[in-house]
Amino acid sequence: MKNILITGASGFVGGHMVEEGNRRGYKVFAGVRGTSDLRFLEGQQYEIFPLDLNKPHEVRNNLIDFRNKGIEFDYVIHCAAITKPKRIEEFYEGNSEFTKTFASELIKEHPSFKKFIYISSMAAQGPGDSVTFAPVTEEHLPKPFTPYGMSKRRAELYLFEMKDLNYVIFRPMAVYGPRDKKFILRLISIMQKGFNVSLGSSKAKSAIVYIDDITELLFNAIESDVVRETFNISDGKTYPQATINRVLSNELGLKTVSLRIPRWFLLGVSYTLYFGNKIIKKPLHLSPFKIKELTALNWTVDISKAQKMLRFYPKHFLDKGVKKTVDWYHKNGDHHSAK
């Protein structure tokens, strides 16, 4: 039985990784903070590995403690990330510097360590050309323009520099599915109020990927010979936001009023909130950077590299993925119970 450490295990993506690790027969260690809500790990087999992105100095000691107990990690899936900091610098501290420290200490303290799977983001790549709408490939020069994207890109560059590290980096587009709180649940909440909201230009093209598809992909990567590669990930299709909204509202059986909010208005509101939150030092959920990311025109992703090297052929496109997601929420009662 191989040991796998999954960071951010209490989160949406990390929780599904724990389930898949159990299904495939790994001994799973959940890297979580002491204050993490472990509700969605109920029924899963795992042991806790203390891990806090705000406390990188503790990582080495914790790795040594586990090694001294006879536990060495064979694989790591690093899902944990800072997404809503009180300070911009926290993006770099938690996403870039922590990743560098974590990977470096793994190499030093766990000699049997075999592969480091890093979940980056398409934000680290940046959107594609807004004139040609050509799909973004791994050969395109990354042009991140948000602090989050730049922090994830910096983490990638740190991993590139580690010659002894067998990494595989994945840059997924928006991941959705059961227990998703950031994407589908927010849309559901708005639609229940009677609105079908689209942001920015009607010309914008986006991409998504269903949680089961990316979970299977990551474990297939662990069990492959592929190392020191980077992959851009989506379901291989593109969708205008209005199409995503239509499919979701139909699945919910809701009649909604379509509303498109222009980019200039969203930026104005977000800048007001941004400067206000800097004064009161609270996490900002809708920053100007996030608005620019959400309203970028071309998030079309070319997944041919993953198809060729990892045989990645998604099974869940929009209709099927949304249906399975909505079914899960219906079976689990109040939609807001997923918060």
Contact 184, 325 (CB under 8 A): yes
pLDDT digits (tens, 9 = 90+) for 299-316: 999 999 999 999 999 999
CB atoms within 10 A of CB 125: 26
Q: Is 315 left (phi over 0), alpha (psi -120 to 50) or beta?
A: alpha
Beta partners for 259? 197
pLDDT digits (tens, 9 = 90+) for 230-257: 999 999 999 999 999 999 999 999 999 9
Is 285 a residue whose pLDDT tops 80? no
pLDDT at 283: 60
| Domain chopping of the chain, boundaries | 3-180+208-236+300-314
Residue predicted with more confidence, 109 or 332 = 109
Helices 12-23 and 211-222: crossing angle in degrees, nearest 10, is: 50
Helix (H, G, I), strand (E, B) or coil at 338: helix
Contact 268, 206 (CB under 8 A): no
Burial of 300: CB neighbours in 10 Å, binned 0-12, 13-18, 19+: buried
8-state DSSP, 39: G
Nearest Cα to Cα of residue 17 among 37, 31, 36? 31
pLDDT at 267: 87
Q: Dig out the tokens for 144 from the structure.
A: 């991140």
Is 281 a residue whose pLDDT tops 70? no
Instruction: Name the CATH superfamily, with its identifier, for domain 3-180+208-236+300-314.
Output: NAD(P)-binding Rossmann-like Domain (3.40.50.720)
Contact 268, 172 (CB under 8 A): no
CA atoms within 13 A on the CB side of 181: 11
Contact 22, 28 (CB under 8 A): yes
Q: What is the mean pLDDT of residues 186-203?
A: 91
Query: What is the distance between the alpha carbons of residues 13 and 10, in angstroms, rounded to a whole number?
Result: 8
Is 336 a residue whose pLDDT tops 60? no
Mean confidence (pLDDT) of the chain: 92
Contact 31, 73 (CB under 8 A): no
Is 92 a residue whose pLDDT tops 90? yes
Helix (H, G, I), strand (E, B) or coil at 71: coil
Weakest-pLDDT range from 131-140, 247-256, 274-283, 290-299: 274-283
